[in-house]
Amino acid sequence: MPSLPGRFAKGLERGPVIRWVAVIVLALYVVDGDTIRLDGERIRIVGLDAPETRLAKCESERSRGYAAKAALLKMLKGQELDIKRQGIDRYGRTLAVVRVHGRNVAHEMIRAGHARAYWGGRRKGWCD
């Protein structure tokens, strides 16, 4: 697959690469608390499940989802990311472990209370 333009994500190439790649983020969009977009590549951060925003099942989930999205943006904005691709999910998103300053983003989101650990299968709801 073609590499992304350097002005957007230096060092990032699409595809099933199983190694760490340092990415200097210049164009980042946080979709929600567990998904980001780098120059059109949707990346689902593995190891966590965050509340939904757009497809929330209740108002509590939606408000927690926006809080998770804001926390993830604050954590990633202006930072160099280390990305280790794990494959592609059923929605066409790249599955990846993401680190900032050597810290696992999924672990940090869970530790801060913005997400739950998730490794596939049925997810627990956010509306209890």
Residues paired with 43 in a beta bridge: 36, 94
pLDDT of residue 18: 59
DSSP string, the chain: -PBPPTTTEET-B-S---SEEEEEESSEEEEETTEEEETTEEEEETEEE---STT-SSHHHHHHHHHHHHHHHHHHTTPEEEEEEEEE-TTSPEEEEEEETTEEHHHHHHHTTS-EEE-SSPPPPS--
Beta bridge partner(s), residue 28:
38
Predicted pLDDT of residue 123: 87
Give the residue extent of every domain in the chain: 9-13+21-118
The CATH number, out of the four listed (3.40.50.1370, 3.20.20.70, 2.40.50.90, 2.60.120.20), of the domain defined by the range 9-13+21-118: 2.40.50.90
Read off the pTM.
0.81
- List, for the chain, all residue ranges whose pLDDT scores fall below the cut of 50: 1-13, 17
Burial class of residue 51, CB neighbours in 10 A (0-12, 13-18, 19+): buried
